């Protein structure tokens, strides 16, 4: 039994030493606190240059976490029929005109918008060989929340996820693609919201 434990521990050490550790940078342009104790929350489509299946998985992860925060008061925009607003008007950077229209024609209180950007994609999740020169993958996710009644952006959080390898990193097998870093950045952002939010 002890041999199996030692073998398992050695295997874990080898795997860990073969992984490139991502770096996460959190930039807030607002208060870090969101109050989920009241209000109806509308979730916008995620703006991202991703395949449909990946964007759906990202959206599913987002809605699952937000439903834990606010339950049945969280609504996804694709499931709502708007009488006076066409879907194309819902952008990451919402115009005051659309927010005013939302305020006058719906009973939503807050709008959550997210944008994901792949800045560099020079690494893959599994590295079959080490890069010849310095290489990096970097993605960022922006999470913003608008108070619909006032039109103000009450929450702005930017998460930059990156991982880099040099030409001498011969032992690294597992890294991160920009695609994977998008999911990691959103997860880290939601974790921060969960930690700092006010909930019932």
> Which parts of the chain are beta strand (E)?
23-28, 41-43, 47-48, 74-76, 110-121, 135-147, 152-165
Global confidence as pTM: 0.85
pLDDT tens sequence for the chain (200 residues): 565 444 443 333 333 445 678 899 999 999 999 999 999 999 999 999 999 999 999 999 999 999 988 878 999 999 998 888 887 888 999 999 999 999 999 999 999 999 999 999 888 766 556 666 788 899 999 999 999 999 999 999 999 999 988 766 555 566 788 999 999 999 999 999 999 998 87
CATH of 20-196, one of 3.40.1130, 3.90.820, 2.40.50, 3.40.50: 3.40.50
For the chain, which residues make up each domain, given as ranges? 20-196
Distances (CA, A) of 90 to 15, 44, 94: 44, 7, 7
- Tell me the pLDDT tens digit for each residue of 98-113: 999 999 999 999 999 9
State the CB neighbour count (10 A cutoff) for residue 112: 21
Task: Please give the Cα distance from 61 to 158 (Å, whole number).
Answer: 18
Residue 80's Cβ-side half-sphere holds a number of Cα atoms within 13 Å equal to 23
């Amino acid at each position: 039994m002890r041999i199996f434990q030692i073998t398992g521990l050695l295997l874990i050490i080898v795997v860990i030493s073969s992984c490139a550790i991502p770096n996460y940078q959190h930039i807030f342009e607002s208060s870090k606190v969101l109050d989920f104790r009241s209000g109806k929350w509308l979730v916008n489509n995620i703006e991202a240059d991703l395949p449909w299946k990946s964007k759906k998985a990202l959206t599913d992860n987002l809605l699952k976490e937000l439903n834990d925060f606010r339950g049945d008061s969280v609504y996804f925009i694709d499931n709502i029929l708007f009488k006076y607003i066409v879907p194309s008007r819902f952008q990451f950077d919402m115009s005051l005109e659309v927010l005013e229209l939302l305020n006058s024609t719906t009973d939503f209180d807050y709008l959550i918008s997210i944008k994901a950007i792949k800045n560099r994609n020079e690494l893959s999740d599994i590295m079959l060989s080490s890069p010849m020169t310095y290489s990096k993958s970097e993605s960022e996710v922006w999470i913003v929340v608008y108070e619909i009644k006032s039109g103000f952006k009450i929450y702005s959080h930017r998460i930059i996820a990156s991982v880099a390898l040099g030409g001498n990193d011969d032992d690294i097998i597992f890294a991160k693609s920009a695609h994977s870093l998008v999911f990691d950045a959103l997860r880290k952002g939601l974790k921060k919201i969960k930690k700092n939010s006010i909930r019932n």
